[in-house]
Amino acid sequence: MYLFRVVYYSRNAVKKLGLPFSAEIRAIMSSCARHNTPAGLTGALVFNEQYFAQILEGSRNEVSKALWRIGADRRHEDMVIMEAEAVPCRRFENWSLGYVGHSEDMDALYLKFGITVGFDPARMTAASLVGFVSELVRLGGGVRHLSGGVAQPALRMPGRVTADDGVGSVAN
């Protein structure tokens, strides 16, 4: 298989549309499990009230199909593709979703990979976004892993914001 990775971010339009934030995140998580796992896609989606950022890995054909589907989703707008390239191996073994909020530890992570306190992918390079998300997944802070389409509990780390904090549960 020809392995391909796409890195993009978009503006979160959930609140602008007047939709309930936690319910829409649950719906997004369900959609990821329904579409990505069977298609052999791995990666991660991180979000806050302003942005979604996602890394998709898989066959070029399946990544392209996913991007078309995602691009039609009205819950986000102004998609910016930061990078699209063939890669020698996967960086992400599963599918992960995480809320990126504010805490002292998270702000230190933002500064390590970006140039601001707070999550702003518009001010990051593709490499720094991939590094940030990889580190977030590695640490387990604010991340739920989907394995075989089933949401696994997020690991709670001291001082970390999880998807349960402030947005309700994102478990199915």
Which of 57-61, 101-105, 109-113 is the least confident region?
101-105
Query: What's the pTM value of the predicted model, to 2 decimals?
Result: 0.79
Residues 6+ apart with CB under 8 A from 61: none
Tokens of 102: 């504010």
What CATH code is carried by the domain that includes residue 38? 3.30.70.100
Asked if residue 37 is part of any domain, the answer here is: yes
pLDDT tens digits along 38-77: 999 999 999 999 999 999 999 999 999 999 999 999 999 9
pLDDT tens digits along 81-102: 999 999 999 999 887 878 888 7
Asked if residue 35 is part of any domain, the answer here is: yes
Count of structural domains, the chain: 1
Mean pLDDT of the chain: 80
pLDDT for 144 equals 54
Asked if residue 65 is part of any domain, the answer here is: yes
CA-to-CA dists, residue 83 to 8, 11, 74, 132, 152, angstroms: 7, 17, 22, 15, 28
